[in-house]
Structure 1
Amino acid sequence: MLSLTSLCLATVFLTTSASPLSFLSNIKHAKRAVTPVVSGTPQLLGVALDPTWNRDSCTSTRVRKRELWTCRDSQSKTAFLSSTASWTNASSDGTPAVVNGVLPMYGTNNVNNAYFPVQADECTAPAGNCNNGTRYALWPDTRPLPVDVGTDGSMSLYTWIKNVHLSGLTELNPNPPTSLYRSDFVPTQPVNQLPPVTLVNEQFWPAGSIAFGDYGFVINSSTAYLYGAMNNTGGPALAKVAVGKIEDPTAYKFWNGTAWTTTKPGLNDANAAIKNAGTGGQGTFYYSEYFSSYVWIGAPAIGCNAAFQIATSPTPYGDWTNPSTFYTGVAGNASFCPAYSQQAHPGLSKNHGSGNDIYLTYTKVDAGSAGYSTPLIHVVWQ
């Protein structure tokens, strides 16, 4: 069985997406992109932490008055899961409820299977380990996409996950199929209950096709814009779908570089690639009314660092500004890959990222028992 360190390192080299990502109703396209400038010095507030779990690559999305977090490989004293989830609370002023340097994460995870359940044809739950030493690493690359489904406050939250099969750090099935999972939130659920998960379609996007939604999303009114990584084309591809039709793959339209079409681009279709919409590393898309722009924040590239870059665009399909570094966190003291998995958290920020601030996290790796942590940083814009 691979160690937690090896499994998390595989995340860095085998994924090209993030997380992570935001929604906002009734947003308008701007006429030009902008380059945000930091005001003052970003503040390290502490860490987001559930002391039960040593885990990495956490993303989050706003669910009513709380934040739902989903994380990758998670290890407790008795269990190892390929994914877990948690809640965090907000203070009365809407900011994250940090107490003595800790944003408490809570919620009851089922230790018999991952939060995004491993299926019978993906070897053994709860982490996808196979008898031959390989593993199905079902890692969420981006946070769940939230959709209102009732007047009572109920929500469906959608997550696309690539069905990656690994031998050590080698991917055995390049361009694998992508599963669609749905988490169902109902306001009457107990406070410690995590939204139960249903597998909508294990091969929502078939093998050999673009995994739209796995690289990120933005919701504009009733339309979801979904990004998917491509093969060495210089940017991701883009699809759109009505939020009420997310579970229907025939309802999607695709950007071909000049217009929307019902024809899906291929993984190597350079015409469909959107330059500078991310770097290929992990990150988060959202819309900012403060800048009247779509925003991507994330890692400068796939690799081991704690630098955060930003790019903006007046539309989901560009033109995007060149990504530029605006903050660099403190890496851990682990001998190899001491920091990765950069994410932005619009749900923690003013008006879902439409104010003059944003919260950031990344995975920090320290040697010994310290293991993995999730620093929480607050950035204010000029």
Structure 2
Amino acid sequence: MFIISSIPLVLLLCQPLVALVARAPLPPQFTVIPVGQETSNFANVHRDGGGGGNINGKNILLFCDTLTPTGFVANSATYSNSEAPEDQIDFGENDNPTLAIPFTPTEEAFTNAAFPINQTRTVLWPGSSITYLGGSKGMFFANVAQYNVEGTGAGNQYNTLVTVTANEAAPSFVRTLEQAFYANGPLWGSFGSVYSELEGILLFANTDAGMKVAKVPPLLYADLSQYTYWTGSEWSSMAPNLNDTASAFIPGLNPTSGDIFWSNYYRTWIFVYMALTNVFYYRYSLNGGINSIIGPWSDEFELYDTSIQTWTNGETYDYAGHAYSGYDPTGRSIMLSWSHGLNDEYMARVQFK
């Protein structure tokens, strides 16, 4: 693979030069088409969470707690059908998905000691986009937390850096850094990450102060000393404090889940997210161009109310919303996914006009 300024050539090809391609007019005009509940080649699989991305032509979806009639794992991963994204291919035996991202011995020991006493366990819940690194490899961050069955507990402890490899048989996951960033500061990358032609890998953190961003050269993503952080005026080797408002590129915005991606159709960054309600919202960078991740950003617009599709069975709780741009490289459409009622996943397609 040829290298230009330490950036793999294959990544440069992911974002065509802005000046050479006309963009569709903003704000986006769109239609949302309900797709329905996600299915699996395994019987009676129920799960929540979300996130994922495209590696080497494989659409990988990540999930949190995954339950079957005879088994349970704290996280799982599937290959999603490019033509019918709601169709998932699970990996494992006897209709029981395998644990995708492993726990460390220390994390397992905590669960073994605490769960019999107060039903508290270590959880490793992926909930971010996967950033493509070229070839068959990608990366993402996932939070490691401590919760009991009622959803209370110590909460997030730290995040872990995961490298994922995709081949024809199945995706594989390695915790490249078992403990990366700690919860007393921004959990960089846990909200999501994305490749930028000019900035390298951008890593997002959602905080009460607003959305924050760090960056790292693609070839050095596993070296935390190479990370720099947006302070509000410059990139610095010193990370801002968790509650520092000046460093937020969208102050005051703290969605529970979402994704930021480059749109080949609109030639700008688009941010799709879900708050504590059942509604997807979106914003877009007003500057356009690949170097405008820090904004300014547009106002908030409603994208899709998931209750239209899922509030038909008495459950009125939708969460863990994500947007996937990898199914359509033209940018004319994206897929949405979300969790419904704690154990089912649904999807919809956003078709841009």
Match of 1:86 in 2: 78
Match of 1:49 in 2: 39
Match of 1:311 in 2: 283
Match of 2:317 in 1: 338
Q: Do the aligned residues in 2 keep the contact of 1:282 with 1:341 (CA within 8 Å)?
A: yes
- Of 336, 343, 346 in structure 2, the residue corresponding to residue 375 of structure 1 is 346
2:270 aligned with 1:292: no
Cα distance change, pair 116–320 in 1 and its aligned pair in 2 (3 A): same
Match of 1:104 in 2: 87
Distance apart, 1:279 and its partner CA? 4.2
What is the alpha-carbon distance in structure 2 between the residues aligned to residue 34 and residue 296 of structure 1?
17
Amino acid at match of 1:241: V
- More strand by percentage: 2
Q: Do the aligned residues in 2 keep the contact of 1:70 with 1:140 (CA within 8 Å)?
A: yes
Q: Deviations over 1:224-277 (max 9, x none)?
A: 1111122x21x1211011111110000111100011111111111111112269
2:251 aligned with 1:251: no
- Of 190, 196, 219 in structure 1, the residue corresponding to residue 172 of structure 2 is 196
* Aligned alpha-carbon RMSD (Å): 3.0
What is the alpha-carbon distance in structure 2 between the residues aligned to residue 265 and residue 379 of structure 1?
35
Q: Do the aligned residues in 2 keep the contact of 1:83 with 1:139 (CA within 8 Å)?
A: yes
Distance apart, 1:348 and its partner CA? 1.3
Greater relative CO (CA pairs within 8 A, separation 6+): 1
Amino acid at match of 2:120: T
Cα distance change, pair 343–27 in 1 and its aligned pair in 2 (3 A): farther
Q: Do the aligned residues in 2 keep the contact of 1:129 with 1:136 (CA within 8 Å)?
A: no
| Structure 1 runs (4+) greater than 4 angstroms displaced | 26-30, 32-35, 110-113, 124-129, 276-279, 333-337
Give secondary structure in 2 for the equivalent of 1:97: coil
What is the alpha-carbon distance in structure 2 between the residues aligned to residue 169 and residue 201 of structure 1?
26
Give the number of aligned pairs: 325
Matches within 5 A, 1:169-188: 169-173=151-155, 176-185=157-166
Amino acid at match of 2:142: I
What is the alpha-carbon distance in structure 2 between the residues aligned to residue 373 and residue 112 of structure 1?
15
State the identity as a percent: 19
2:207 aligned with 1:226: no
Matches within 5 A, 1:66-215: 66-90=58-82, 96-97=83-84, 103-109=86-92, 114-123=99-108, 130-132=115-117, 133-148=119-134, 154-167=135-148, 168-173=150-155, 176-185=157-166, 189=167, 191=168, 193-215=169-191
What is the alpha-carbon distance in structure 2 between the residues aligned to residue 128 and residue 89 of structure 1?
40
Cα distance change, pair 125–206 in 1 and its aligned pair in 2 (3 A): closer
2:262 aligned with 1:275: no
Q: Do the aligned residues in 2 keep the contact of 1:217 with 1:225 (CA within 8 Å)?
A: yes
What is the alpha-carbon distance in structure 2 between the residues aligned to residue 114 and residue 244 of structure 1?
28
Q: Do the aligned residues in 1 keep the contact of 2:60 with 2:79 (CA within 8 Å)?
A: yes
What is the alpha-carbon distance in structure 1 between the residues aligned to residue 26 and residue 115 of structure 2?
47
What is the alpha-carbon distance in structure 1 between the residues aligned to residue 131 and residue 79 of structure 2?
16
Distance apart, 1:62 and its partner CA? 1.1
TM-score, length of structure 1 as denominator length: 0.76
What is the alpha-carbon distance in structure 1 between the residues aligned to residue 348 and residue 98 of structure 2?
31
Match of 1:320 in 2: 297
Match of 2:7 in 1: none
2:15 aligned with 1:25: yes
Cα distance change, pair 380–55 in 1 and its aligned pair in 2 (3 A): same
What is the alpha-carbon distance in structure 2 between the residues aligned to residue 243 and residue 60 of structure 1?
18
Q: Do the aligned residues in 2 keep the contact of 1:38 with 1:379 (CA within 8 Å)?
A: no
Cα distance change, pair 64–284 in 1 and its aligned pair in 2 (3 A): same
Q: Which sections of structure 1, spanning at least 5 residues, go unmatched?
A: 1-22, 91-95, 149-153, 366-370
Q: Deviations over 1:60-91 (max 9, x none)?
A: 3112222111111101122111110111232x
